Structure 1
Amino acid sequence: MARTARRRDDRESGSIRRRSLLLGTAALGASGLALGATGCARVPSGDALARLRTQRTVRLGIAGEVPYGYVDDQGAFTGEAPELAKVVFKRLGIDRVQPVATDFGSLIPGLNSQQFDVVSAGMYIKKERCEQVLFSDPEYQMLDSFIVLKGNPKGLRSYDDVVRKKARFATGAGYAEIGYAVAAGYPEKDIVILQDQVAGLNAVESGRVDVFAGTALTAREVVKKSTKAEATEAFAAVVDGEEQIDGGGFAFRRTDRDLRDAFNAEILKMKESGELFRILRRFGFTESEMTSLTAEELCR
């Protein structure tokens, strides 16, 4: 993932992020500590699915991004990925899902350092990420969109437009959109990195940046209550002459293939029955954003 040294944090979004982290931590309670202290001594090693069934708890890494995985104002964790996880893991014999909130860019490092068992954040399946983790098959496919001022005064509808018009460009920490902008010729050092889409909306509304890039779903959801900003039409980023259609899935440690494979089997059943879409449409997904893509295809 491309990263940049230049960062600007939106104060209001930061307070939301901190509140989410606190709420997520509070939701864990003392049981999480007890699990860490005693669980590993009693469970099988080397078989992640058997281990989690014995513990009866799976820890989910979430990133506070609406609508993928977040903690709401009542302190409950929700989003398309956590709600899907609750269903799938229960069917795998694991009754309790436990959220662990972190920044998006810390999800893969946190997974591999065993801070949680699975990343449940609708993460795009990218080749460079596939070298670090195992992905489930995607539960959705997604295009990009921009948050811009009402009327889109600069006419920004693609990354090429952003480069050509020298727009002040922002996106989220660890987002795939960083790479798309760089591939179009935008200087990485000039990209403004913000915590999340709420910070992006605030930055556009205040005039600090001209555009914030995110997933089409993220953009259209966050501008719903805005009187100053809008989301552009969804579009496919172009890299080396090829349009990019992204898919989001769950991430597992590379040693946990048994767990990933069992998860995939359940996801396939839910796709075939239509149950997957029934869960995701509550969070703003459209039927056109359901997918038959596989992780193997996206990792290539």
Structure 2
Amino acid sequence: MKPGSRAAMASPPKHKKRRTAETTETTEPPSLGRRSLLLGTAVLGAAGTVGATGCGRIPSGDTLARLKSQRTVRLGIAGEAPYGFIDEEGDFTGEAVELAKVIFKRLGVAGVQPVATDFSSLIPGLNSQQFDVVSAGMYINKERCTQVIFADPEYQMLDAFIVPKGNPKGLRSYQDVVRTGATFATGTGYAEIDYAISAGVPEKEIVILQDPVAGLNAVESGRVDVFAGTALTGRSVVKKSRKAEATEPFAPVVDGKKKIDGGGFAFRPTDTDLRDAVNTEIHRMKKSGELFRILRPFGFTETEMTMLTAEELCA
């Protein structure tokens, strides 16, 4: 299931999803994961007891050289499929984890040690030395770019709707929802709330459901006409459904502009050399097609491949 959160829009909306802009307080519980949780000073305080011990171990100099010497890199993950999670066999895996294994081996660091934490603690944990890099497919946005630096995204994420088989109302955009008067639903804290409101869906008429599975059930039972989420989630949820399908991926239009998000590795602001080394490998893998081969087993399609840069997403 995807998760995946969204970057903040030009004016801060009332509802944000896990990858939305960071604020000064955490407004949703850690269990909601990466699309819903907000990072901020309150989380930094909560992580203080953990980070205190790490501060005394802050290294100086070349981080990549240190990692080569240690022969191990610590990866901060959020325990969320398909990005970084523990599988049924008890092994750490996920698109970001498997990608990190390949990249760091080529950089001379054979050992990979995933460190699972709440999504809200990833940036505080990174900056307090609990791990060396965030490898959780974190959405890149302007607010996060003031706290960490990012490699260029390994994927982009578009939206999709879960609709009844045959898509009888022809819903392929938020504007279509408004045009047809369709009953619209999405998940708790999802950025899709803001996308719908921006398109003209009355906020009071938006049905908020717990997760995409609840959304699928609501569509199948006819309680709602559409459930909005990410394309990756939509594809995954409807696989075995006889009554519902996912629409083709699309970019929400906000203030006249298409909204496309991308996720990638995050580093401490001082680790520019390490970020650049990882970036070099990512670009080689994009060019050769190897990146897609690594991500494909986790549900990604060519639609999610991107040439966006972190600089563009940070702007």
In structure 2, what is the equivalent of residue 169 of structure 1? Answer: 185
Map of 2:89 onto structure 1: 74
Which of 274, 279, 295 is equivalent to 2:289? 274
Question: Given that residues 4 and 191 in structure 1 are in contact (C-alpha distance below 8 angstroms), is that contact kept between their aligned partners in structure 2?
Answer: no
Which position in structure 1 is the counterpart of 2:279? Answer: 264
Aligned residue number for residue 208 of structure 2? 192
Q: Tell me which of 123, 135, 153 is aligned to 1:120.
A: 135
Aligned equivalents of 1:170, 1:98: Cα separation in 2: 35
Unaligned runs of 5+ in 1: 7-13, 19-35
Cα distance change, pair 39–66 in 1 and its aligned pair in 2 (3 A) = closer
Distance 2:52 2:146 in 1: 31
The equivalent position to 1:88 in structure 2, one of 103, 110, 115, is 103
Larger deviation, residues 252-261 vs 149-158: 149-158
Amino acid paired to 2:63:
A
- Matched-pair contact (CA < 8 Å) for 1:140–1:249: yes
Aligned-partner residue type, residue 185 of structure 2:
F
Query: In structure 1, how many angstroms separate the alpha carbons of the residues matched to 2:213 and 2:74?
Result: 26
- The Cα offsets for residues 68-90 of structure 1, whole Å up to 9 and x where unpaired, read as 33322222222221111110111
Amino acid at match of 2:134: V
Q: Hey, what's the Cα distance between the residues in 2 that align with 1:186 and 1:278?
A: 38
The one of 227, 231, 240 equivalent to 2:242 is 227
Q: Does 1:246 align with 2:280?
A: no
Greater RCO (Cα-Cα under 8 Å, separation 6 or more) = 1
- How many Å apart are 1:143 and its aligned residue? 2.0
The answer to whether the 8 A contact 1:66-1:218 is kept is: no
CA distance in 1, matches of 2:214, 2:88: 17
Task: Name the aligned partner's letter for residue 105 of structure 2.
Answer: K
Per the alignment, do residues 222 and 114 of structure 1 end up closer, same or farther by CA in structure 2, a change over 3 Å counting? farther
Give, in whole Å, the separation in 2 of the partners of 1:251 and 1:270: 18
Match of 1:29 in 2: none
Q: 5 Å matches for 1:182-221? A: 182-186=197-201, 192=208, 194=210, 197-198=212-213, 200-201=215-216, 204-205=219-220, 211-221=226-236
**Contact 2:161/2:227 (8 A) holds in 1:** yes
Code of the aligned partner of 1:123: M
**TM-score, normalisation: structure 2:** 0.70
Per the TM alignment, residue 176 of structure 1 is displaced from its structure 2 partner at its CA by 4.6
TM-score by length of 1: 0.73
Q: 1:125: how far off?
A: 2.2
Provide the secondary structure at the position in 2 that maps to 1:127: coil
Tell whether the 8 Å contact from 1:170 to 1:209 is kept in structure 2 after alignment.
Answer: no
Provide Cα deviations, 1:34-81, integer angstroms capped at 9, x if missing partner: xx9999878833543233333333332333443333322222222221
1:25 corresponds in structure 2 to: none
The letter of the residue matching 1:216 is: A
Is the contact made by 1:172 and 1:214 (CA closer than 8 Å) also made in structure 2? no
Return closer, same or farther for 1:290/1:46 CA change in 2, 3 Å cut-off: same
Q: Secondary structure at the match of 1:293?
A: coil
Q: Residue 32 of structure 1 corresponds to which residue in structure 2? A: none
Matched, 1:58 2:73: yes
Aligned-residue offset at 1:146: 1.8
Find the partner of 2:310 among 290, 295, 298. Answer: 295
User: What secondary structure does 2:143 align onto?
Assistant: helix
Q: Per the alignment, in what secondary structure is the counterpart of residue 229 of structure 2?
A: strand
- Tell me the residue number matched to 1:284: 299
Q: 1:146 aligns with which of 140, 156, 161?
A: 161
More helix by share: 1
Kindly indicate whether the alpha-carbon contact (under 8 Å) linking 2:54 and 2:129 is maintained by their aligned counterparts in 1: no
Distance in 2, Cα, partners of 1:125 & 1:264: 14
Deviation string 1:108-142 (CA, Å, 9 cap, x unpaired) is 44434544332223233222332232111112233
- Measured in 2, the distance between the counterparts of 1:129 and 1:42 equals 24
**What is the rounded CA distance, in whole Å, between the counterparts of 1:203 and 1:106 in structure 2?**
33
CA distance in 2, matches of 1:3, 1:87: 40
* Preserved contact between residue 187 and residue 208 of structure 2 (Cα < 8 Å): yes
Q: Between Structure 1 and Structure 2, how many residues are aligned?
A: 273
Distance 2:236 2:84 in 1: 14
- 1:237 aligned residue: 252
The alignment-based identity, stated in percent, is 74
